[in-house]
Amino acid sequence: MSKPTSFVKKINTAPQLYKQQKGIKPFPNQQYCLSSGTPTLDALIGGGFPLGTLVVLYEDNFSHYYTHFQKAFLGEGVVSEHKCLIIDPDVLRGREYWLKFLPAVYKIKDSSSTSSQALGGATSSTDQKLQVAWRYQHLVEGQGIDPTILGGTTEDRYRFDNSREMGTSFANSQSHQLHKEELTIFHSFNSEETSLVALWEQIVEQVQNQLASESDDRVVRILMPSFHLFSEGRSVKEMVKFLRSLKALVRSLNGVCLISVDEELLSKPLAAHLFYHSDSLISLTSFKDHLESKLGDYDGTLKLLKQPRIHGFLSTLSEFDIYALRLKGKTGIIVEKIHLEPEEDRAGQDENLQQKGVGKKAASVASVQCNPTKAHQIDF
């Protein structure tokens, strides 16, 4: 099997096409991307998901951290007025389920109020340093918080609350209307009764219905949850053909397709093909599932198993290929670099980080970061 060609979307080389598009940001090498909805993840992968890419999310099968990323992906689409197409093989879930699934949106009125909320009411810089954990001090800038952890533009920041349901406007600003009914398109199918060919025709029809013409540059976000149900009763050959067609469709769109699936429910051949055809592959791990891998006081890890190729080069926008997950209660999740506080004996944690032979040296260092990505590699 030959190597996949590097991703270069012709339409992305015309910046004027995106000046009026909300939620579109410049990406390295004259490309453009849209936000994943999780600002801390965007900050680590170059700004978001490049337009026209197929992204696979391997779910954690116990703690359901993946739902935070699904909610943020769809919520960001509604706020940015992108069309959100949900292809759901679970017949027990309906349109109402997904409308309630969308997260509430809160406007961040100004940096001082943001700082006050995030720091528990602290006002002076001295109090901030005392009350904020040392690993977060780099996020505090003057009276505010680093913009990379918030969504929106500098003038209009917002955040998601995954514990609450999205309304018809921002939860704390009635002037910011949200058109979730119009922007969310739901398509359900019975995997036992619908062939992949018929499903493919239905997906194409749904996309065409949302675009006025072939030249329509409207942004489309596609979510395919529970992807293992797509493969029930199908041969690997049928699934490969479907994935190739799906990837071709995504390449032709101004949008991103997010496939969410539990890797353990996939056959090994299908998992291999899914890895091959994806542009980005993210794997989540919960420490509640794997107590033996527990690191510090983190809740889990996020691994970048595959990053998009850009103009013949492997993307090395991410400094590392593994990051820590930290829950914000039920409201959201934060992705950050792994830092471990100095301890007298941290042999067990050093093994988890695969930092063999550096345990003694690391004891005198304030933080440890792991698994740097490889240097640039040319894709011939």
State how beta strands 254-261 and 53-58 pair. Answer: parallel
What does pTM read for this prediction? 0.77
What string of DSSP letters covers 290-319?
-GGG--TT--EEEEEEE--EETTEE---SS
State residue 316's pLDDT score: 55
* 253 Cβ neighbours under 8 A, 6+ residues apart: 51, 52, 207, 220
The Cα 21–Cα 32 span in angstroms is 11
pLDDT in tens, the chain (380 residues): 444 444 444 444 445 566 567 888 888 777 889 999 999 999 999 889 999 999 999 999 888 999 999 999 999 999 999 999 999 999 889 999 999 999 999 998 765 444 444 444 434 444 444 444 444 444 433 333 444 445 555 446 899 999 999 999 999 888 889 999 999 999 999 888 899 999 999 999 999 888 877 777 889 999 999 999 999 889 999 999 999 999 999 998 889 999 999 999 999 999 999 999 999 999 999 998 777 778 888 999 999 999 887 665 555 567 788 999 999 988 999 999 998 777 655 555 555 555 444 444 433 333 344 444 444 443 43
* Residue 189, phi then psi, degrees to nearest 5: -150, 155
Residue 233, token pair as written in the block: 């009763």
State how beta strands 280-286 and 31-34 pair. unpaired
* CA atoms of 18 and 23, how far apart (whole Å): 9
- Which of the 8 DSSP states describes residue 166? -
Q: What's the one-letter identity of residue 164? A: R
Q: Is 55 helix (H, G, I), strand (E, B) or coil?
A: strand
Name the residue type at position 233.
G
With beta carbons less than 8 A apart as the criterion, state whether 307 and 314 touch: yes
Of 194, 176, 262, give the one whose Cα is nearest residue 225: 262
pLDDT tens digit string along 299-345? 999 999 998 876 655 555 677 889 999 999 889 999 999 987 776 55
Specify the pLDDT at position 55: 97
User: Encoding tokens for residue 159?
Assistant: 């955040």
- Domains within the chain, CATH numbers bracketed: 32-341 (3.40.50.300)
Torsional class of 32: left (φ above 0), alpha (ψ -120 to 50), beta (otherwise): beta
Residue owning tokens 């400094």 = 319
Three-state SS for 229-261 is: HHHCCCCHHHHHHHHHHHHHHHHHCEEEEEEEE
CA–CA gap between residue 62 and residue 40 (Å, rounded)? 23
pLDDT tens, position by position, 101-111: 999 999 987 65
CB 289 within 8 A of CB 62: yes
Residues 246, 238: Cα–Cα separation, whole Å? 12
The per-residue pLDDT for 62 is 81
How many angstroms separate the Cα of 137 from the Cα of each of 222, 286, 295, 338, 341? 36, 26, 20, 15, 14
Q: Where are the beta strands (DSSP E) in 183-330?
A: 184-188, 219-224, 254-261, 280-286, 300-306, 309-310, 313-314, 322-327
d(CA 365, CA 342): 7
Q: In sequence order, what are the beta bridge partners of 255?
A: 220
State the DSSP H helix or E strand holding residue 170, giving kind and residue range, or none if neither.
Answer: strand 169-170
Q: What pLDDT score was predicted for residue 123?
A: 41
Q: Which residue has the tokens 């950050």?
A: 336
CB-count burial class (<10 Å; 0-12, 13-18, 19+) for 329: exposed
Q: What is the C-alpha to C-alpha distance for residues 91 and 202, in angstroms, rounded to an integer?
A: 16
Give the model's pLDDT for residue 151.
Answer: 57
